[in-house]
Chain A
């Protein structure tokens, strides 16, 4: 009987109930050389097919190829139709891999971009690489302080952060990767040559080690080292490409975090520059100063103050200023003003002249911002303190008398840095023992809040509150003023606040031994 399947282009075997091949077409004979009528299936085909139950599709390899065997049952036994699915399997495997990688890259991007914290970026990179690309991974950043910041993640998924004094020259390609030498994307190294800080305990026998550069924004961000155990050592071409894609994302994130850290440290340095000077006591004069930078943003604020102590018996100069604007520009201008004022100390006996000269210096700059300030020249005169006060566009200081009277000072002048000529009126005030002269910036009077939420704290209210503060030591007075303004503002946005109190001591003894003012 001629059967049409005998000429089918796919291998087909007919097997009888005893497991003996009863027919095999040409395609089957050329695939399975032993397959012939009368031969037991066991002797002619691979084990997986010989043991296959005739009720279901079986899968297995024949030589290098992957086959599916589809059974159909007819009266004479079972017909096994063999289909070569190698190519189909390869394609769907590749598609699965691709999907997995895309999902992984999306996850990596999300995790990496959600943080500008350098440590976290390193940890995320090491962890993701160890989990998805290798058995263990190590992120190493360029040298910092003769050590290399390292994040290592082993097969257990735990990340260890270290700063290692190691020689990257021990690892071929690592030095180049750290210096950002392009474009040798990844380099294979002999696992046996890997130093102990790379091939760590618990990893077992290494099969492969790859060094990949982490490209940054113009500067090298570091290097990624992938370590695989011997059992699945190889990296396919697709995996290498993929590793580079991952490295590009990780490098960008680490680089951004580095730049941010640098920025943050610049801000910190500038902030430090704006912090109050240490001298708290001038010659026979008590002094307290409080500064609270704006909490609303990370920007450096524009308030500053300085003390320039004079020789005993001579005048000391106290400066409180408020630079218009915020951030780097304001900080740079503040530095310029403070340095200029320092240089101009020899003319401090003439406030108007000093302010004019400062104005001329600032006019050489951009001329689109200004500073307002108060100069207070302070001199001890027996039990009293003599003050020369000059405002340059700034709120005039307030005098809090020991008896509870609050007085405004009569000084007024032009802001500095924008007009060709500046004028000023200086006021002279004498403090008796227990009297305080209060200098403040507009962060105090312009604190917004109160019962209606949008009212200014205002000078009027400050003056009224100060009546209750008579006789307070300067430290307590400045704290009180700052607290009142902060409370007024509640949780709202607050500008920088700076307050200075200059007090004539009640007795010419150190503050700690002094009896209460009243």
Chain B
């Protein structure tokens, strides 16, 4: 069963807001995150939006699409998006889809390396 999504928005002093994301981000729930983040992005003088992913369960392609739309809207609003406390699953998805650097600013590993590192036979 999919875990329901719980979102908790907390001001983090100054010009930052955090959204704690708990549960699965999928076709049924991605819209909620998009809505919550878009509402926060309307805040005056916001500079940083932190999505705390520590409690994030599964993230499917709809979840990823929501993150990418949030990233675009943040960019348009002059806000930096941070995906904090990412798990291995989310990192793998971002890496596979070539969106890791775009969403996090971290450079992506070259093709094949992550899988070799997991002990999968390579050529």
Binding site for B on A (CB under 8 A): 302, 322, 324-326, 367-370, 372, 391-396, 399, 405-415, 418-419, 422-425, 427, 442, 446, 454, 459-460, 463
0 or 1 for each of B40-68: is its CB under 8 Å from A? (1 = yes): 00000000000000000000111011001
Enumerate chain B residues within 8 angstroms of A425, measured Cβ to Cβ. 110-111
Q: Are B65 and A370 in contact (CB under 8 A)?
A: yes
With A412-B112, A460-B118, A460-B120 known as contacts, the answer to whether A325 contacts B27 (CB < 8 A) is yes
Q: How far is the CA of A227 from the CA of B97 in the complex (A)?
A: 67
Q: Are B65 and A422 in contact (CB under 8 A)?
A: no
| Cβ contacts A to B, 25 pairs, < 8 Å | A302-B61, A324-B62, A325-B61, A367-B72, A370-B61, A392-B98, A393-B97, A393-B98, A396-B111, A407-B121, A408-B112, A408-B121, A408-B123, A410-B111, A410-B112, A410-B123, A412-B110, A412-B111, A414-B97, A415-B97, A415-B98, A419-B68, A446-B60, A454-B1, A460-B118
Task: Determine which of A393, A399, A419, A424 lies in contact with B96 in the assembled complex, contact meaning CB atoms within 8 Å.
Answer: A393
Q: Are B111 and A326 in contact (CB under 8 A)?
A: no
B99 in contact (CB, < 8 A): yes
Q: How far is the CB of A104 from chain B (nearest CB, A)?
A: 41
Task: Determine which of A369, A395, A406 lies in contact with B121 in the assembled complex, contact meaning CB atoms within 8 Å.
Answer: A406
Enumerate chain A residues within 8 angstroms of B102, measured Cβ to Cβ. 414, 419
B36 in contact (CB, < 8 A): no
Q: Are B111 and A368 in contact (CB under 8 A)?
A: no
Enumerate chain B residues within 8 angstroms of A392, measured Cβ to Cβ. 98
Interface size of B by CB at 8 A reads 26
List 8 A-B pairs, minimum CB-CB distance, nearest first: A414-B98, A412-B111, A393-B97, A410-B112, A324-B61, A415-B97, A407-B123, A410-B111
Task: Determine which of B60, B65, B98 lies in contact with A423 in the assembled complex, contact meaning CB atoms within 8 Å.
Answer: B98
Q: How far is the CA of A422 from the CA of B102 in the complex (A)?
A: 11
Q: How far is the CB of B97 from chain A (nearest CB, A)?
A: 4
Q: Are B99 and A419 in contact (CB under 8 A)?
A: yes
Chain A CB count within 10 A is highest, among B110, B112, B118, for B112
Task: Determine which of A368, A410, A454 lies in contact with B69 in the assembled complex, contact meaning CB atoms within 8 Å.
Answer: A368
B122 in contact (CB, < 8 A): yes
Q: How far is the CA of A415 from the CA of B95 in the complex (A)?
A: 10
Q: How far is the CA of A423 from the CA of B100 in the complex (A)?
A: 13
B12 in contact (CB, < 8 A): no
Enumerate chain B residues within 8 angstroms of A422, measured Cβ to Cβ. 98
Task: Determine which of B69, B99, B116, B118 lies in contact with A414 in the assembled complex, contact meaning CB atoms within 8 Å.
Answer: B99
With A408-B120, A419-B102 known as contacts, the answer to whether A372 contacts B112 (CB < 8 A) is no
Chain A CB count within 10 A is highest, among B64, B116, B118, for B64
Chain B CB count within 10 A is highest, among A322, A324, A411, A422, for A324
Nearest neighbor of B113 in chain A, beta-carbon distance: A410
Q: How far is the CA of A407 from the CA of B69 in the complex (A)?
A: 35
Q: How far is the CA of A302 from the CA of B122 in the complex (A)?
A: 30
